Structure 1
Amino acid sequence: MQDAAHRVLKQYFGYDEFRKGQGEIISCLLSGKDTVGIMPTGGGKSLCYQIPSLLLPGTTLVISPLISLMKDQVDALANAGIPATFINSSLSFSDGKKRLIQAAGGRYKLVYVAPERLEVPDFLQALERMDVSLVAVDEAHCISQWGHDFRPSYRLIADMIARFPRKPAVAALTATATPRVTDDICRLLHIPQTSVVVTGFARDNLKFQVIRGQNSDTYLNDYLKKNRDQPGIIYAATRKEVDRLCDRLRKDGFAAGKYHAGLSESERADSQERFLYDDLSVLVATNAFGMGINKSNVRYVIHYNMPRNIEAYYQEAGRAGRDGEKSDCILLFSPQDIRLQKFFIEQSEMDDTLKNEEYHKLEQMIGYCHTESCLQAYILRYFGEQNPEPCRHCGNCLDTREKADVTEAAQKVLSCVRRLRERYGKTMVAKVLAGAADQKIIQFKLDSLPTYGIMKDQTQRRIGEFIDFLTAEQYLAQQGGAYPTLMLTARSVPVLKGEARVLKKGAVRAAQLEVHNELFERLKKVRKELAQKEYVPPYIIFSDQSLREMSAVLPSEDREFLMIKGVGQQKLEKYGRAFMETIAEYEAEQMAEKGGKEALSPRDK
């Protein structure tokens, strides 16, 4: 069966070898063995059930959490010549019923359904008439209340499986499961612990970075200017912040869109589609966006605000570089984010046990933002990996910035906070230090303090940014609700006593992602034209990885084109000629240009 699986892999998906863990999971499922697969985003989880679906009799039923993800998957399968469909609330009652009848008749190899369908008795009865040989549970962490995205309907999956006259094999797949969540998946789906395949959580093509103590807007603008044509996602914690950032980016000339729950369904769908089709280069969104997209060429994910926990962060950041190309995952940390996330937890309807669990996860997220060790290793330890090696390519591993001694400035700020009896926020502290003639300062007689005006050589904005740095480095903390005040921490005491120094690294400068060559850009245009004709996202035609390999290898005949990763027989027949003609034209131009230069005399040159 393994040879047959390799043939299917090449014929339909255009790859010669399985990735780590894929072969083992596929072998288990083909032998009828229930299996849990924990693989990183972009690790090829979908192939783990798509390939068995083509080798097993009957139909594979895929439980998938979001409608848009189903459509993307079905479009990609259809593009590869594989009969698949989805049944969800986007269909009319008659269309859904028609597809169910067709599925029962064996028309499709894969049928995608939302977990909420399992609450409908008529749907369950219809399933019993289908010849289901495999049930794939995608985003399996949704079954656990300890996971970051619990969906109660997932708890109905085990009962559904028990209804089939002949028990199908079960594949439970996820990218973000802690050991506790993995135990829950096994227990609730009745899968032995010995049937868990973990390939590791590392994403070696992703560069993780935390920017703290810097102006987030300035850094963001600088980064986007340097990577204007690269597709990316910016996550913000609130709708208001999404709206502000999107408006600002549009004014600065970026092709930006937004996505959050405050928009109508049609507005959200339009933003998502324009991003998928590369008509938008950047999408600003709340965490409601992304779980249901399969876009493989997202080159960066920037978190403008800190998420609540590592699982949510890793899943959102993991939407970058699904095609294996180098991509950035940047978190712009601000101390206010901690207060915001605590507010979200406090306002939630969770019981006290779950709230305490969320506070514990938040502390680990805060730890990630402050660690000076390897960022990827920190994440891997969180997911249960023992003693991971430093990645040697994250922001911390590559940090060579020199440290400047800012102890004197820090003492001035900390002393001012103490003189103000920890009763004021950042803005007022900055005004006192800058010597502002503010009405409130005069009213409260703060201009009589010894610290009044001791930093008048700096602007209030610069002082405010320095206060952000001290807060990010935990010399100061914020307390209170909507208008937080600054308070000293245990770390600030030895600084005030002159027993400890404060060192500040220089600002992190935004870097440019890899620049593609001219042929790659031409192939992208061909891809987009074909995508527009077929009404599918460009990455479904070919990934950026495939285009990069084409521009390096320069295939000129069918046999060479089939050697490119991601090119199967179906795609060769559909698209091979268009891409090879573009490559041939480019080569001819290069040869003509080279010949023209060689024909020039030394004087002409």
Structure 2
Amino acid sequence: MPDTTSSGPAAETRDAREALERHFGFGEFLAGQERVVSALLAGRDALVVMPTGGGKSLCYQLPALVMDGVTLVISPLIALMKDQVDGLVRRGVPATMINSTLSPSEQQARIQEMRRGKHKLVYVAPERFRSQAFTNALSQVEIALFAVDEAHCLSQWGHDFRPDYLRLAQALEALDHPQTAAFTATATEDVRADILKHLALRDPFVSISGFERPNLSLAVTQISKVREKYDRLEAIVREHKTGIVYCATRRKVEEVADSLALMGVKVVAYHGGMEDAERERVQNVFLDRGKDVAVATNAFGMGIDRSDVRFVVHFETPGSIEAYYQEAGRAGRDGEP
């Protein structure tokens, strides 16, 4: 007998399609998205490995609009949170964030708003879970989905291990294990096993999309002299205008940024030796298109959603193939070459 009810996973999927067009302006899902959205709306935990630029954020943002309660999004960078929240609010989606930029009273006010159902998505920095009081406060909130973005950060096998991510297991236990989904663009088999273990995902829907990005072209230039290296970099910047240059050390970041500035390029430098506030300022300047080129160590760029990045240059050898894929994938997010 056909299902004539107006509730259940099928109806929620229809609602998700309507929300896709209404809030995001898309008539169709990208490859792999609909299966993930359907699994989440069916109540399943999930592990989603989807290439940079493949639309993984939408895989939890869309269900959040349909599900009852609040979707908590664990995100590692303040600039990334701000970028995501600002974009959602512009689309009419009730979203906010809780991180170290807020005073304790502001954080408490946001939690009260969550209890009242004011927000559908709330982005939270993993270090917030250092506070037992914060976790206790969340236990009084109806959590629809616990979405862990950049989930590779919880694995010591990953290229960007962050110890604060290990606190999430305790937080999930304290919150009585709400539905949980982990998202990342890169995860080896070892990293995937770590994610499944640490987050205790229950019979998860696992989606591993292909890593092909047909709009990206890769090239290696052999250089015999340092001057040739800078000349080649200048040629790339002159031709492609907007991009990211990765260097292995703080000192090299400063050297390359200074060289580009002398060429008249609008450039910013970013590395771990800078104060947190300055790093955030630099990242926001680049995201807001105030500068054309960012020269950085690998601390820069996780989740950066600037669509017009036309090139990524590794001025020095990256730490791993995994890191290279993640960093190179920050180019061409608009689908253009």
TM > 0.5 between the two? yes
Letter of the 1:121 counterpart? Q
Q: 1:270 to 1:153 in 2, by over 3 A?
A: closer
Q: Which residue does the alignment assign to 1:225? A: 238
Deviation track 1:530-575 (CA, whole Å, cap 9, x = no partner) reads xxxxxxxxxxxxxxxxxxxxxxxxxxxxxxxxxxxxxxxxxxxxxx
**Distance (Å, rounded) in 1 between the aligned partners of 2:194 and 2:268:** 38
2:150 aligned partner? 139
Q: Which residue of 1 aligns with 2:186?
A: 176
Does 2:106 match 1:95? yes
Q: 63, 77, 95: which one pairs with 1:84?
A: 95
Please point out which of 211, 216, 219 is paired with 1:206.
Answer: 216
1:300 Cα deviation after fit = 0.8
Looking at structure 2, the residues matched to 239 and 172 of structure 1 have their Cα atoms a distance apart, in angstroms, of 31
For 1:6 and 1:275, locate their aligned partners in 2 and report how far apart those are by CA, in whole Å: 33
Match of 2:84 among 73, 81, 87: 73
Distance 1:268 1:115, change over 3 A: closer
2-side partners of 1:274 and 1:66: how far apart?
15
Q: Where do residues 432-451 of structure 1 align in structure 2 (5 Å cutoff)?
A: none
Q: Distance in 2 between matches of 1:154 and 1:266?
A: 22
Contact 1:183 1:193 in 2 (8 A): no
Counterpart position of 1:2: 13
Letter in 1 for 2:223: G
Alpha-carbon distance in structure 1 between the residues aligned to 2:267 and 2:143: 43
Task: Answer yes or no: is the 8 Å Cα contact 1:87–1:112 preserved in 2.
Answer: yes
In structure 2, which of residues 40, 43, 52 is the aligned counterpart of residue 29 of structure 1? Answer: 40
CA deviation after TM superposition for structure 1 residue 168, in Å: 2.4
Structure number having the greater helix percentage: 1
Matched residue SS, 2:219: strand
Check the 8 A contact 1:82/1:109 in 2, yes or no: yes
1: distance between equivalents of 2:184 and 2:331? Answer: 17
The answer to whether the 8 A contact 1:260-1:289 is kept is yes
Match of 1:153 among 160, 164, 172: 164
Q: Distance in 2 between matches of 1:160 and 1:93?
A: 19
Aligned equivalents of 1:245, 1:219: Cα separation in 2? 12
- Work out whether residues 158 and 188 of structure 1, in 8 Å CA contact, stay in contact via their aligned partners in 2: yes
CA distance in 2, matches of 1:270, 1:34: 36
Pairwise CA distance, 1:46: 0.6
Paired letter, 1:174 = T
* CA distance, structure 2, for counterparts of residue 30 and residue 168 of structure 1: 13
> What amino acid does structure 1 have at the position aligned with 2:330?
R
User: Residue 5 of structure 2 aligns with which residue?
Assistant: none
Secondary structure at the counterpart of residue 207 of structure 2:
strand
TM-score of the superposed pair, with normalisation by structure 1: 0.52
Matched ranges for 1:428-507 at <5 A:
none
What does 1:40-51 correspond to in 2, within 5 Å?
40-51=51-62
SS in 1 for 2:29: coil
Shift of residue 106 of structure 1?
1.1
Asked whether the equivalents of residues 44 and 203 of structure 2 are also in contact (C-alpha less than 8 Å), the reply is no
Structure 2 counterpart of 1:493: none
1:239 to 250, 259, 274: 250
Is the contact between residue 140 and residue 173 of structure 1 (CA under 8 Å) also seen in structure 2? Answer: yes
Match of 1:53 among 64, 86, 102: 64
Does residue 284 of the first structure (1) align with residue 304 of the second (2)?
no
Q: SS of the counterpart of 1:226? A: helix
Contact 1:231 1:278 in 2 (8 A): no
Q: Name stretches of at least 5 consecutive residues in structure 2 with no aligned partner.
A: 1-11
Q: Which residue of 2 aligns with 1:341?
A: none
Q: Is the 8 A contact 2:73 2:148 kept in 1?
A: yes
Q: Deviations over 1:14-50 (max 9, x none)?
A: 1111111111111111111001011001101111100
For 2:129, give the aligned amino acid. L
Task: Describe the SS at the equivalent of 1:278.
Answer: coil
Alignment of 1:549-564 (within 5 A): none
Q: Tell me the distance in 2 between the aligned counterparts of 1:268 and 1:144.
A: 24
Identity %: 49
2:79 and 2:284 in contact (8 A); partners too: no
- In structure 1, give the amino acid aligned to 2:142: D
Mapped partners of 1:162, 1:170: distance in 2: 12
Task: Look up the SS of the partner of 1:202 in the other structure.
Answer: coil
- Does the 8 A contact of 1:85 with 1:110 survive in 2? yes
Q: Could you report, residue by residue, the CA deviation over 1:311-331 in whole angstroms, capped at 9, with x for unpaired residues?
A: 1111111111122221xxxxx
Cα distance in 1, alignment partners of residues 320 and 231 from structure 2? 26
Aligned-partner SS, 1:62 = strand
Q: Distance in 2 between matches of 1:273 and 1:120?
A: 27
Say yes or no: does 1:255 pair with 2:247.
no
User: Is the contact between residue 46 and residue 182 of structure 2 (CA under 8 Å) also seen in structure 1?
Assistant: yes
Alpha-carbon separation, structure 2, partners of 1:30 and 1:202: 27
SS of the aligned residue for 1:289 comes to coil
* 2:45/2:203 contact within 8 Å kept: no
Deviation (angstroms), 1:193: 6.9
Question: Residue 152 of structure 1: CA displacement?
Answer: 2.1
**Gaps spanning 5+ residues in structure 1: where?**
327-605
Report the counterpart of residue 205 of structure 2 in structure 1: 195
Structure 1 residue identity aligned to 2:230: D
Cα displacement (A) at 1:179: 1.3
